[in-house]
Amino acid sequence: MRDRLPVLSYGLIAEIITQHPLWKRGIRWVSRGTEFITRNRVWQSIFRQGYPDTEENQSRVIFNSWFLHIHPVKVKKHSLNIKYTWGLGVITAFLFIVLVITGAWLMFFYVPSVEQAYTDIQSLATSVTFGTLMRTVHRWAAHLMVVTVFLHMCRVFYTGGYKTPREFNWMVGVMLWVLTLLLSFTGYLLPWDQLAYWAITVSTNIIGSFPVLGEWMRVILLGGHEVGPAALIRFYTMHIAILPGLMAILVGVHFWRIRKDGGLSSSLEANKIDYGGSTR
């Protein structure tokens, strides 16, 4: 009878491999390569705190990283439940990033002039690869962002997230809501078609009917007394530069205040759950 082959366990196989001279030589090469890279001046200029293998380096990683440092030190247990926040803030931030990316892409194929704006919009559907897709994604992301910001504010309101010490962050959220509406409003004129023209005409006439400052605000928006080339340039500038810049700044402040205020807001009942029946 043929002799049975010895049964090799995974541990024995691993030991045989790791004891082989080629394996040891490869480990030495990897160690030398890693040491050469990490001691390089370029590497050290990017990763200044070193590998987080000690408590000091771990602390430096947190303090020197904006992405990690912006997160709260502690979070309440209930805030990790998707049914408490529904992820509306994260969804809104994601939609804003989508709008920035698709908007920047669309800028390459759009000229804000009365003679060419409508033609450029038509060319997106006929001459530009993925033009219709990118414009559709941009439009629907804008619509969804208006909805998610509103729902996010409703969630914060009904869970008491506007109360002490989060009043300032609530006001920042309100300003972000206004900026979201203004971004949607200014982008509506850019296709320069009949729907956009008359929608902006009616909207600015409503603004002009406001007491005291109404007519002044209307002239500032349109650059005159009617929708024309000056209005298109002003709406385009506000849509791609002024309003997104303000929103990016306020989003940073909003996230920073969430961290400084101790994470997501919590109701009295949630505090009782988190702290075993006592409120803090």
What the chain holds in terms of domains, given with CATH numbers, is: 90-268 (1.20.810.10)
Q: For the segment 183-236, what is each residue's pLDDT rounded down to a tens digit?
A: 999 998 899 989 889 989 999 999 999 988 899 999 998 988 888 899 999 999
- Mean pLDDT across the chain, nearest whole number? 83
| Digit-coded pLDDT (tens) for 72-106 | 666 677 777 777 788 898 899 999 999 999 999 99
Token pair in block for residue 27: 């480990």
Per residue in 166-175, pLDDT tens?
A: 889 999 999 9
**How many percent of the chain have pLDDT more than 70?**
80
- End-to-end Cα separation, the chain, in angstroms: 78
Q: How far apart are CA 245 and CA 233, in angstroms?
A: 17
DSSP conformation letters of 7-28: PPPHHHHHHHHHTSHHHHHHHH
Q: Rounded CA gap, 30 and 214, in Å?
A: 70
pLDDT band of residue 50 (cuts 50, 70, 90) is: low
- Whether the pLDDT of residue 265 is over 70: the answer is no
Q: Which of 205, 243, 210 is nearest to 222 (CA)?
A: 205
CB neighbour class for 239 (10 Å; exposed up to 12, middle 13-18, buried from 19): buried
Section 247-260 average pLDDT: 88
Selection from 250, 254, 85, 90 nearest residue 158 by Cα = 85
